[in-house]
Amino acid sequence: MLTRIDHIGIACHDLDATVEFYRATYGFEVFHTEVNEEQGVREAMLKINETSDGGASYLQLLEPTREDSAVGKWLAKNGEGVHHIAFGTADVDGDAADIRAKGVRVLYEEPRIGSMGSRITFLHPKDCHGVLTELVTSAAVESPEH
Asked if 84 is an active-site residue, the reply is yes
The reported pTM is 0.89
- Write down the pLDDT at residue 139: 86
> Tens digits of per-residue pLDDT, 13-41?
999 999 999 999 999 999 999 999 999 99
Q: CA–CA separation, 40 vs 67, rounded Å?
A: 9
pLDDT of residue 145: 43
Q: What percent of the chain has pLDDT over 90?
A: 87
Average pLDDT value for the chain: 92
37 is catalytic: no
Give the Cα separation of 108 and 42 in Å (integer). 21
Q: Which of 39, 43, 63, 83 is catalytic?
A: 43
Query: How many other CB atoms are found less than 10 A from the CB of residue 112?
Result: 16
The single residue of 20, 32, 60, 83 carrying the catalytic annotation is 60
Q: To the nearest whole percent, how much of the chain has pLDDT over 70?
A: 94
